[in-house]
Copies of this chain bind each other. A is one copy, B any other.
Amino acid sequence: MNKFSVIGQSVPRIDGWAKATGSAMYTDDLSLPGMLIGKLLRSPHAHARILSIDVSKALALPGVKAVITGNDPVTNKTTHWRMRPQLADMAALASDRVRFLGEEVAAVAAVDEDTAIEALSLIKVEYEPLPGVFTIEEAIAENAPRVHDEFDRNINPSVSLPVSYGDVEKGFAESFHVRTDKFSTPTVIHAYMEPHSALASYEPPGKLTLWASTATPYYLKGDVAQVMGLRESDVRVIKPYLGGNFGGRNVPFALDFCAGLLSMRSGKPVKITYDRKEEFNAAGRRHAARLELKTGVSKEGILLAKEISVYLDGGAYNGFGPTVTFLSGLYHTVVYRLPNYKFNGYRVYTNNPIAIGMRGFCGPQAHFAAETQMDMIAEDLGMDPVELRLKNVIKTGEIVPTVGVIKSCGLTEALNKVSSAVNWSGRPKEKGTGKGMAITCFGQMSGANFNFYNTPYAYSGAEIRAYPDGTLTLFSLAADVGQGSDTLLCQIAAEELGLKIGDVRFIGNDTAVDPVDLGAYSSRQTMFSGNAVLAAARDLKQQLFEAASPKLETSVIHELEARDGRIQVKGSAKRGMTFGEAVMCVLRAKGGKEVSGFGTYTPRGKGTATPAVGYGVAAAEVEVNKETGVTRVTRFTMAHDCGTNINPMAVEGQVYGSIQMGLGYALSEKLIIDKGRVMNANFLDYKMPSTLDMPEMVSFAIDTVDPEGPFGAKESGEGPINCVAPAITNAVYNAVGFRVMELPVRPDDILGLRKDKKG
């Protein structure tokens, strides 16, 4: 029995109609009168000094309204890590030097796209090529060429954050068995359907409106203001409908700055939309990683110590670097009980395109290494890998030094559920039969606690207005990026106020209108924005109760409730009034002022990294064709502990999407970069799984109730991807009898053609 009326229902998305019928406006759908089209000129060199830029011929082309370069006056640098200003390296355009192939060196705005493209061809840039570094190994070599002059071996020490605790040397000394393994993961891209787009309209003397395909409008507002030399609130960022995020919309790119600068220069609105090639080359990618894991266990399989070294290929600039690096260390501490832990994390500058956060924010990298090694340790100990996991998984109430108390954890139940569902104990144990199965675990933070942006605002704010007709308007800057957060937040408001989801109008995505919310990253919308909405609903409900109480002549011993569209004495539908009547009571009492509730959420005292951790367990079943080397995932089962399932259909969507993305990460996807040049910048050569590649999928909800989450909910947007790849590759190991320690595991690996990748 569901004790809720809206929470726990599989509610269709509130944006479903617009998206399904095609009336949804994405950024590139927008058009303003007199709008110009902007295009960016990109460096053909991965590393070079810019000797000169001559834009005169481009400017002279009829129809060209503005040309800017990195040497134009107002272009400061910015970073999301304002707490560490030395990390600021994002600028609108390169000025003296280009650091990756595809870096933006000039931007033009013209009356149409053809003219803008022609203008690009008329810009003359003189380069002096410089030696570059293109792999982690090259970059960290002694005396390696420097991507940024300040940083020896291309490591910016400001990127590192402390994650270690305990005494690993003591732990290893006490261990029965210690093993060290090296893993390697590729760079992949977010590959959403909607390319980046930005439309800027600048009005003197200093007001900018920017429509942008961003998942973090609040950050973008500050970043753009910083780069353009404007005051933060002189920039208004509006996020139209968004076609996917996965972390790729959390940092600004050149288009976000250049649209504004070109509008400022031309006096006209300017739109820049990336084409697919630009998406592949210059719109962010997942960090490739080299990971070394040293792990010690007792004879019984209890984890005693772990030391991790991680090198991340960051590309030419910081992006969300420190966060990604920190998290690459954190994951190892939240899934299994671990008394001693040492983390050595390095994000390395290279002359590759910029790497940023991507779904899991290094979770897939960390989990691939950790979950593969868990299976290896189990094998070393002659132990069932599920049994090994059951012995070590975190349980509700345990304290993790990097996070604090884990207030809910369904890992044990999830392991049992999945094992039972796939008949784990009954599986064929023999290796190399061409069929294999494996089970893995994951953990994922529900939103980031650290204030890296140094915001003075609550992390999430929400306002709810109520009307006499029994409807609500919910204001939130939480970013629906396709994950369904708008719908979820409406459910929370409706539930708390006893209304239906159709009673709620969502007004979001506008920094000038909505209360500050840091946006969609680190799986924070449910926990943070959801709690803010819940607080706003409670604030509003209290006002309704206070105004209704005298009219209902309730005594203090009676409590009121908001239920079924009414404000009434608990359990007594007769002693009440409609929700709208209660709103009218407040309205009259306040002299006709809008009836509004306001709420915020900031995780003060809620742990050091995140207020809650989402968990889950996956089982992959594979068949490997030994003739062709092709791996087919036949079934993929996941049990997901995201606390209370607010919208089960949406959670299932996250699980299925994670399986698809993890499947590509495991078996096919890799952005091939040769000396800084992306070699497969299209969807033919970059192989994502299609619907035909998808396995049968089974999704279970593990019911926990996290005391910190709104109605008990936690994250579900990122965690499930984390353990998909190792579940598949461990299953492949069981099917073929040998390990491939580098992702993706492709037919040539299976056929033994690339021995160097074997473990």
- The docked-state distance in angstroms from the alpha carbon of A468 to that of B232 is 9
**B587–A18 CB distance below 8 A:** no
A512 proximal to B (CB < 8 A): yes
Residues of chain B within 8 A of A31, CB atoms compared: 31
Given A21-B268, A32-B23, A267-B21, the answer on whether A473 and B231 have CB atoms closer than 8 Å is: no
Given A201-B23, A469-B233, the answer on whether A591 and B458 have CB atoms closer than 8 Å is: yes
A737 proximal to B (CB < 8 A): no
State which of A203-211, A412-420, A678-686 sits at the interface with chain B.
Answer: A203-211
Given A473-B512, A507-B513, the answer on whether A461 and B207 have CB atoms closer than 8 Å is: no
In the A-B complex, the 5 residue pairs with the closest CB atoms: A458-B592, A231-B469, A233-B467, A233-B471, A457-B592
Given A25-B32, A204-B17, the answer on whether A456 and B232 have CB atoms closer than 8 Å is: no
Residues of chain B within 8 A of A22, CB atoms compared: 33-34
Residues of chain B within 8 A of A515, CB atoms compared: 593-594
**A591–B600 CB distance below 8 A:** yes
A502 proximal to B (CB < 8 A): yes
Residue of B nearest to A266 (CB): B21
- The docked-state distance in angstroms from the alpha carbon of A205 to that of B17 is 10
Selected A-B contacts with CB under 8 Å, 15 pairs = A18-B203, A23-B32, A23-B33, A25-B33, A31-B31, A231-B471, A233-B473, A234-B469, A455-B592, A456-B587, A457-B592, A458-B591, A461-B593, A593-B600, A594-B598
- The docked-state distance in angstroms from the alpha carbon of A254 to that of B513 is 31
**B505–A593 CB distance below 8 A:** no
A680 to chain B, nearest CB (A): 31
A150 proximal to B (CB < 8 A): no
A102 proximal to B (CB < 8 A): no
A11 proximal to B (CB < 8 A): no
A653 to chain B, nearest CB (A): 20
Residues of chain B within 8 A of A204, CB atoms compared: 17
A602 proximal to B (CB < 8 A): yes
A719 proximal to B (CB < 8 A): no
- The docked-state distance in angstroms from the alpha carbon of A508 to that of B512 is 11
A23 touches which of B25, B34, B588 (Cβ 8 Å): B34
Chain A residues 4-34 with CB under 8 Å of chain B are 17-18, 21-25, 29, 31-34
Residues of chain B within 8 A of A33, CB atoms compared: 22-25, 29
Given A33-B29, A473-B512, A513-B507, the answer on whether A456 and B592 have CB atoms closer than 8 Å is: yes
Residues of chain B within 8 A of A593, CB atoms compared: 458, 461, 515, 598, 600
A468 touches which of B25, B456, B471 (Cβ 8 Å): B456
**A207–B34 CB distance below 8 A:** no
Residue with the highest number of chain B CB atoms closer than 10 Å, among A25, A206, A456, A473: A456
A339 to chain B, nearest CB (A): 37
A712 proximal to B (CB < 8 A): no
Convert A425-465 into 0s and 1s, putting 1 for each residue whose CB lies closer than 8 angstroms to a CB of B. Answer: 00000000000000000000000000000011111010000
A602 touches which of B29, B467, B591 (Cβ 8 Å): B591
A241 to chain B, nearest CB (A): 10
A446 to chain B, nearest CB (A): 20
A482 proximal to B (CB < 8 A): no
Residues of chain B within 8 A of A470, CB atoms compared: 231
| Other contacts beyond A17-B204, A459-B592: 9, CB < 8 A | A18-B203, A23-B34, A23-B269, A25-B32, A232-B467, A232-B469, A461-B593, A473-B512, A591-B602
A294 proximal to B (CB < 8 A): no
**A505–B236 CB distance below 8 A:** yes
